[in-house]
Amino acid sequence: MATTNKKLHIKAGDTVKVIAGDFRGKTGTIKSVDVTGNKAIVEGLNMVTKHTKPTATNPNGGIVKKEAPIHASNLMVVDSKGTASRIGRKLDSKGKLQRYSKKTGDIIK
């Protein structure tokens, strides 16, 4: 069964605010987005402790802290004015889709 990927309201490089979960209220920048799982890795948030085995690149192994993915439904994009809002899409004068903040109406990069 083939699944179609929905377009997400977030992209890598966006500044987002977490609206649910342990890190509610915190903001950060998106490092990467997993479209198939609807998840994103936000820089500095949702840190988990990972135990790694020794490898050729890391001969000692050990304990590493790294970011874990956060579901996209728990993230809101922060616009240039610093307010978190929902995202809409509209065509500009050249016929290209632009993302905009529904709260302020500003275009998001």
pLDDT tens sequence across 36-51:
999 999 999 999 999 9
The pLDDT score that the predictor gives to residue 47 is 93
The pLDDT score that the predictor gives to residue 109 is 80
Nearest by Cα to 48 from 29, 23, 77, 73: 23
Confidence (pTM): 0.80
Asked if 27 and 15 count as a contact pair (C-beta separation under 8 A), the reply is: yes
Buried/exposed code over 20-41 (b: 16+ C-beta within 10 A; e: otherwise): eeebeeebbebeebeeeeebbb
The pLDDT score that the predictor gives to residue 101 is 92
Token digits of residue 17: 């605010």
Residues of the chain with pLDDT under 70: 1-5
Q: What is the mean pLDDT of the chain?
A: 91
Domains of the chain (ranges; CATH) run 10-53+64-78 (2.30.30.30), 85-109 (no CATH)
Token digits of residue 30: 């998106």
The pLDDT score that the predictor gives to residue 56 is 94
The pLDDT score that the predictor gives to residue 80 is 87
The pLDDT score that the predictor gives to residue 91 is 92
